Amino acid sequence: MRRILVTALLAFAVAPVAASVAAGGSDATKNASVACTAIKSHMLAADFAHAYGTFGGCVSALTPVEKQNVASAQAACTAEQSDATFTANHGGKTFAQFYGTGKGDKNALAKCVSTKAQAASKAEQLARTNPARTCRTLRTQLVANTFIATFGTARNAFGKCTSWAAGLQTQSENAASATCRTAQDASATTFAANYTSNADAFGKCVSSTASVQAKAKLQATIAAVSACKAEQTNLAAFNAKYGSFKSCVAQKTKTA
């Protein structure tokens, strides 16, 4: 039953926040702002406020991942620039000719970094879930009373859940970006080949790795809810041990 619950939840929750990166580049904060604009456009104002507090809060949450996108792009472009086989693998064009602009193919390195950073950011945006949709599904699956006991009170449970879901997503992406940078540093060629793309390889790595991590944490939370419900058969002992259902879920999730 637990597996069915997780599958159903993810099926509803993974509705991509599609966006085209029309601005940004090698400026992590600006890229985060573009990403937050895309997220906000696909959420109700109240849901966005629950998830991130303010637009600035969203930008602050996403900037660390965007910094990793830029760092990854810089590493990849520096490697390409010094690659003796670059011209042969890019239709006879040199690095400067392939990425450069204007007379003399200027700013090739900066253009390369901007292109790759934006591609990574877009790949991550396309894979992001809507935290409010996740919580609406979770509320249906857990039943109202259990949902409320898990996240807060009847008045604020949904907002607390949305904030939790957004935080879970951000934490997963931050952890994934560190994992992906390590893999990229180990072998840039293998890394790019593993994600079937050179431009957005890092973004694909982050989004796929973060999805696995977020799913595991979601499963741990659902398992904790089930375990806490089972322990409630002895209510006096349960209250003495945990104080509240929410505290029980938090403790069991932490130790999972």
As a whole number of angstroms, the distance between CA 224 and CA 2 comes to 11
pLDDT tens track for 151-191: 988 889 999 999 999 999 999 999 999 999 999 888 877 88
As a whole number of angstroms, the distance between CA 151 and CA 164 comes to 9
Q: Which comes out higher in pLDDT, residue 122 or 4?
A: 122
pLDDT at 19: 38
As a whole number of angstroms, the distance between CA 207 and CA 121 comes to 10
pLDDT at 227: 93
If you average pLDDT over residues 192-211, what whole number do you get? 86
101 φ/ψ angles, rounded to the nearest 5 degrees: -130, 155
If you average pLDDT over residues 99-119, what whole number do you get? 88
Residue 25: pLDDT over 90? no
Whole-prediction pTM value? 0.83
Is 149 within 8 Å of 229 (Cβ atoms)?
no
3-state SS, residue 221: helix
Q: What percent of the chain has pLDDT over 70?
A: 89
pLDDT at 22: 41
116 φ/ψ angles, rounded to the nearest 5 degrees: -70, -40
Residue 123: pLDDT over 50? yes
Confidence of residue 197 (pLDDT cuts 50, 70, 90): low
As a whole number of angstroms, the distance between CA 172 and CA 206 comes to 9
HSE-CB of 61 using CA atoms within 13 angstroms: 23
As a whole number of angstroms, the distance between CA 38 and CA 122 comes to 10
